[in-house]
Copies of this chain bind each other. A is one copy, B any other.
Amino acid sequence: MTNPHNVAPRRATITDVAREAGTGKTSISRYLNGELSVLSPELRARIEAAIERLDYQPNQMARGLKRGRNRLIGMLVADLTNPYSVEVLQGVEAACQALGYMPLICHAANEVEMERRYLQLLTTYRVEGVIVNALGVREETLRPVGEGGIPAVLVDRMVDGLVADMVGLDNTAAVELATHHLLERGFDDIWFVVQPFERVSSRRLREAAFRAAIGGQARARGHTVVLELGDAAALEQTLAELDHAVDAAFEVSPGVTLHLAAGAAPDVTPGVSVDLAHGTRSDANPSLRADTAQAAAGAGTRRVALFAANAPVALCLARHLNARHGARWQERIALLSVDDPEWAEFAGITTIRQPTYQIGYRAVEFLHERIDGVESAARDCLLPGELIVRASTSR
Contact = CB atoms under 8 A, between A and B. Distances in A.
Interface of A: 1-3, 6, 9, 11, 55, 57-62, 64-65, 70, 80-81, 83, 86, 89-90, 93, 102, 104-105, 107, 109, 120-121, 123-126, 143-144, 147-149, 315, 318-319, 322-323, 326-331, 342-343, 345-348, 375
Q: Which 6 A-B pairs have the closest CB atoms?
A: A105-B105, A343-B343, A327-B327, A3-B148, A319-B346, A327-B328
A294 B285 CA distance: 64
Contacts of A315: 342-343, 346
A70 B81 contact: no
As for how many copies of this chain the complex holds, the number is 2
Contacts of A323: 346
A335 to B, nearest CB: 12
Which residue, A93, A143, A327, A328, has most C-beta atoms of chain B within 10 A?
Answer: A327
B93 A107 contact: yes
Contact of A86 (B81, B93, B120): B81
29 contacts: A1-B147, A3-B147, A9-B149, A55-B143, A57-B123, A58-B124, A59-B65, A61-B61, A61-B65, A61-B70, A62-B65, A80-B80, A81-B83, A90-B107, A90-B109, A93-B109, A102-B121, A105-B105, A105-B107, A315-B342, A319-B345, A322-B348, A326-B328, A327-B327, A327-B328, A327-B331, A328-B328, A343-B343, A343-B346
Contacts of A9: 148-149
Contacts of A81: 83, 86, 342
A247 to B, nearest CB: 20
A126 B61 contact: yes
B57 A1 contact: no
A6 to B, nearest CB: 6
Contacts of A1: 147-148
B327 A59 contact: no
Contacts of A2: 148
B86 A80 contact: yes
Contacts of A62: 65
A346 B347 CA distance: 9
Nearest to A345: B319
A124 B59 contact: yes
A57 B126 CA distance: 10
A9 to B, nearest CB: 6
Contacts of A318: 346
Given A59-B124, A80-B86, A327-B328, 15 more contacts: A55-B144, A57-B124, A57-B144, A61-B64, A61-B125, A80-B80, A90-B107, A102-B121, A104-B104, A315-B346, A318-B346, A319-B345, A322-B346, A327-B348, A328-B328
Nearest to A319: B346
